[in-house]
Amino acid sequence: MIDPLTLNEFIVKKQDEVQFSSGELSQLLGAITLASKIVHREINKAGLLDITGSAGVQNIQGEDQQKLDVYANEKFKQALALRGHVCGIASEEEDDFVSFSNNNQSLSKYVVAYDPIDGSSNIDVNIPVGTIFSIYKRKSSNEKPVEISDFLRFGREQVAAGYVIYGSSTMLVYTTGQGVNGFTFDPSVGEFYLSHENMRIPERGSIYSINEGNADKFSEGAKCYLEACKSGNTLSGKPYSARYVGSLVADFHRNLIKGGIFIYPSYRGVPNGKLRLLYECNPLAFIVEQAGGSASDGNTRILDLTMNELHQRCPLFIGSKEMVTEAENLMRSEI
Ligand code: AHG
Ligand code: MN
Ligand code: MN
């Protein structure tokens, strides 16, 4: 059996289908995969180091080993600052956006927003976590440094989006608007290989993912939908299975492959839900739509939501198209 394509071979093969100039996407994804290989290495030592806090050991730069969120954030920021045609980044771990002004990076064409470690509370209990990223072409003139307006965009303007899941294997899944493809990391050679070509989410599944611990505070509509999932009063006519990992990337990835719906709704005391539009909801919404699924805030398509601030939160209903529609209809009927 011939080796499957590596990520770079795949990018070269698809070059004429994407809206990136030759070499740009390779460099952008090259920076992201480089950082993800470093994070993969640290996560796989989790059993040896307490990487959710200070491990009390020094890394090669002489820094104290930091909390993995911050550590991963630095690795992605360094990788993108040094290569990848990026003029600035926004991150869950940075209060404001970061402008890259060295060696005229500030004139580069792309901005990247990312959640360096999604589900980081699961690190020390060995449950899969992930990285989520979103790429836009800058809007402001590239004669000047990047501006906030380059990040406050509609999700439908993304030119690429993806995630890395550090699970039983480490996988990169991404889209540039030409479908969704998944690559599995082989640590023995340090390459990501095409393993899931043209991923499509089943129109319908039998899995629902929601933190039922918050159910007492849910809206009547959300409570009604939750009951339907349990009673079988749904499209499938039988009860769904509950699966909730506590890492959005892990719940999303399972539903992408098996079909299902993930919901993080707004509820009493949490009016906009918990998840962030820029670097969690928009990139996964781009991916799920490219795989034939859908994503909304319960009313409006995620990719059409107006973004007013960098860390803006929004409710998220994402997954199999028929299940998202069913949840939206039930939510509306109960308003
Ligand atoms: P992060 O670790 O980047 O802050 O993201 C955690 C998110 C998401 O991964 C997950 O689905 C959700 O938090 C779980 O929240 P609850 O514990 O409130 O259910
Ligand atoms: Mn997250
Ligand atoms: Mn995070």
> Does 122 sit in the ligand 1 pocket, CB within 6 Å?
no
Per-residue pLDDT tens digits for 298-328: 999 999 999 999 999 999 999 999 999 999 9
Q: How sure is the predictor about 62, in pLDDT bands with cuts at 50, 70 and 90?
A: very low
Domain boundary among 166, 196, 226: 196
226 located within any domain: yes
- Asked if residue 320 lies in contact with residue 260, where contact means CB atoms within 8 angstroms, the answer is yes
Residue 103 sits in the same domain as residue 170: yes
Contact 170, 292 (CB under 8 A): no
**Mutate-to-test residue for ligand 1 from 247, 267, 279, 280, highest number of ligand atoms within 8 A of CB:** 247
- For residue 202, tell me if it sits in a domain: no
Determine the average pLDDT of the residues in 70-92: 92
244 burial class (0-12, 13-18, 19+ CB within 10 angstroms)?
Answer: middle
What was the pLDDT predicted at 84?
62
pLDDT at 15 over 50: yes
In whole angstroms, give the CA distance from residue 105 to residue 113.
16
User: pLDDT > 90: what percent of the chain?
Assistant: 76
Same domain (yes/no): 148, 272: no
Is residue 173 located within the same domain as residue 231? Answer: no
* Secondary structure element (H or E) that encloses residue 172, with its range: strand 170-175
pLDDT digits (tens, 9 = 90+) for 253-266: 999 999 999 999 99
Return the residue whose CA atom lies nearest to atom 15 of ligand 1. 246
Say yes or no: 108 and 188 in one domain: yes
Does 21 lie in the same domain as 162?
A: yes
- Domain containing residue 33: 7-196
69 sits in which H/E element: helix 68-82
- Structural element, H or E, at residue 248: helix 248-258
Contacts of residue 73, defined as CB under 8 A and 6 or more positions apart, other chains included, come to 91, 92, 93, 94, 116
For ligand 1, is residue 118 a contact (CB within 6 Å)? yes
Integer Cα distance of 120 and 130 in angstroms: 8
Place of tokens 């470690």: 117
Whether 248 lines ligand 1, by a CB cut-off of 6 Å, is yes
Per-residue tokens: 253 = 């990835």
Mutate to test the pocket of ligand 1, among 71, 131, 274 (most ligand atoms within 8 A of CB): 274
- In the predicted model, what is the mean pLDDT of residues 163-168? 96
- Judged on CB neighbours under 10 Å (0-12, 13-18, 19+), 145 is middle
pLDDT tens readout for residues 128-137 = 999 999 999 9
Q: What is the pLDDT of residue 59?
A: 38
Residue type, 101: S
CATH number at residue 192: 3.30.540.10
